[in-house]
Amino acid sequence: MTVRVLVVDDSPTVRGRLVEVLGADPDLEVVGEGADGKQAIELCRSLRPDVVTLDMMMPSMTGLAATEYIMAYCPTPILIISSSTNRRDLFKMYDALAAGAVDVLEKPAGDATDEAWERKLLSTVKLVARIKVITHPRAKLAPLPAPAVEKPASGRYRFVAMGASTGGPAAVLRILKSLPATYPLPILLVIHIGRLFAVGLAEWLDSQSPLRVAYATDGEPLPEPGRGRVILAPPDRHLVVERSRLRLSAAPERHSCRPSVDVLFESAAREWGERTIGCLLTGMGKDGAQGLLEMRQAGGWTTAQDKESSVVYGMPFEAAQRGAAGKILSLDEMAPALTDLAEAGS
Which residues does the annotation mark as catalytic? Answer: 165, 192, 287
Instruction: Report the relative pairing of strands 238-242 and 78-82 from DSSP bridges.
Output: unpaired
> How many CB atoms sit inside 10 A of residue 152's CB?
18
Q: DSSP character for 112?
A: S
**Cβ(147)–Cβ(339) below 8 Å:** no
Peptide bond before 143: cis, by omega within 30 degrees of 0? Answer: no
| Interior/surface letters 297-336, b for 16+ CB within 10 angstroms, e for the rest | ebebbbbbbbeebbbbbbbbbbbbeeebbbbebebbbbbb
**Cβ(337)–Cβ(178) below 8 Å:** no
Strand locations in 116-244 (E):
159-164, 187-191, 212-215, 229-232, 238-242
How far are the Cα atoms of 121, 127, 155, 294, 320 from residue 324, in angstroms, in the given order? 33, 26, 23, 8, 6
**Nearest 10 degrees: Cα torsion 8, 12, 13, 14:** -10
Q: DSSP character for 275?
A: G
| Interior/surface letters 64-85, b for 16+ CB within 10 angstroms, e for the rest | bbbbbbbbeeeebbbbbbbbbe
How far is 143 from 164, CA to CA, in rounded Å? 20
Which residue type, as a one-letter code, is found at position 330? S
How far are the Cα atoms of 40, 64, 136 from residue 69, in angstroms, in the given order? 10, 9, 9
